[in-house]
Structure 1
Amino acid sequence: MGKWLIALGLAALAGCASDGLSRLEERALYLQHAGPPVDRFQLFGQLNGWNPLDDHTLVVQTRPNEAYLLQTTGPCQDLDWAPAIAITSLGSQVQARFDRINVLGGGTNVMRVACRIETIRPLDTKAIRAQRAELRKAETSERPAEDAAPTAPDR
């Protein structure tokens, strides 16, 4: 029988709301810093977090500085709002084209079909954090100074 590795939605990765990125910008950020596909990744225990990017793409964080971009063969029903997911695995190895993502919870009695993981791509978490910091810095520098004295209107 397969081992289920569960990640609660409460431990999600830093989301797009925290730094003002749209869903498309968030997805582009991860795709930009994703390495070439790998066959598998090691997972000890449960996920540190997860973040859906669309209905067939999500980021899973396995350790504080280790994350992977997972793409499924098709859409995962209710992935966008799920409170939890589970990854099926026969051990501590999660394998592309073999293991599946199950969307859990939500209070409905709908039978969801597990989504097969098609590709696994390691993420450069340091580069992602650096780019997020740059984006936050640029956003704060673009804001008008609240302390500045108002200027007199032109006459």
Structure 2
Amino acid sequence: MKRLIVAVAMCLTLVACATGGRLDSAERLELYRAHAGPPQQDMQFFGSLNGWNELGDSALAVWTRPSEAYLLELSGPCQDLPYAQAIGLSSQSGRVSARFDKVLVRGTGPGPQMPCHIASIRKLDVKALRASEQELRQAQAEER
């Protein structure tokens, strides 16, 4: 079943690339979802991120190490996430928990930001995700 989902996501993504060039946030989110494992209760977190990508206003991917990443889906829209300069994560004892911890958007303007509650955490298959992204880049290059 997972292979079918990945195949469908790849086809949709390739069509989107062929018609519009770059992927929009919704298309990138579908690509990441296709490479995400089942929901888990929490993830290990030692206070700093190796990187992150916004995937619209209600999801993001966070890298805890260069080869370890997670898809975080939020309980609703997160104000200014697509324009954030930086993010933070709340955590307890080195763990970020779904339905308890939050994404904190930073650097988008004056005043305090509303925390964005994490609804689900799914580990990403980083190798497969990178391979799919490479295939998409090659397909884009061939279209040109």
TM-score bucket of the superposed structures, by smaller chain:
0.7 to 0.9
8 A contact 2:35–2:124 mirrored in 1: yes
Q: Cα RMSD between the aligned structures?
A: 1.4
The equivalent residue for 1:132 is 133
Q: Secondary structure at the match of 1:54?
A: coil
In the aligned structure 1, how far is the partner of 2:113 from the partner of 2:47? 24
Deviation at residue 106 of structure 1 after TM alignment: 2.2
Aligned to 1:112: 113
| Aligned equivalents of 1:23, 1:105: Cα separation in 2 | 20
Equivalent residue in structure 2 for 1:86, among 85, 88, 91: 88
CA distance in 2: counterparts of 1:82 and 1:126, whole angstroms: 26
Q: Which has the higher helix share?
A: 2
How far apart are 1:107 and its partner, in Å? 3.1
In 1: Cα distance, 2:52 partner to 2:88 partner: 11
Normalized against structure 1, the TM-score is what?
0.75
Deviation at 1:140, TM superposition (A): 1.7
Question: Residues 71-82 of structure 1: matches in 2 within 5 Å?
Answer: 71-82=73-84
Runs of 4+ in 1 over 3 A off after TM superposition: none
Identity of aligned residues (%): 51
1:21 CA drift (Å): 2.0
Structure 1 unaligned regions, length at least 5: 1-18, 144-155
**Between Structure 1 and Structure 2, how many residues are aligned?**
124
TM-score after normalising by structure 2: 0.80
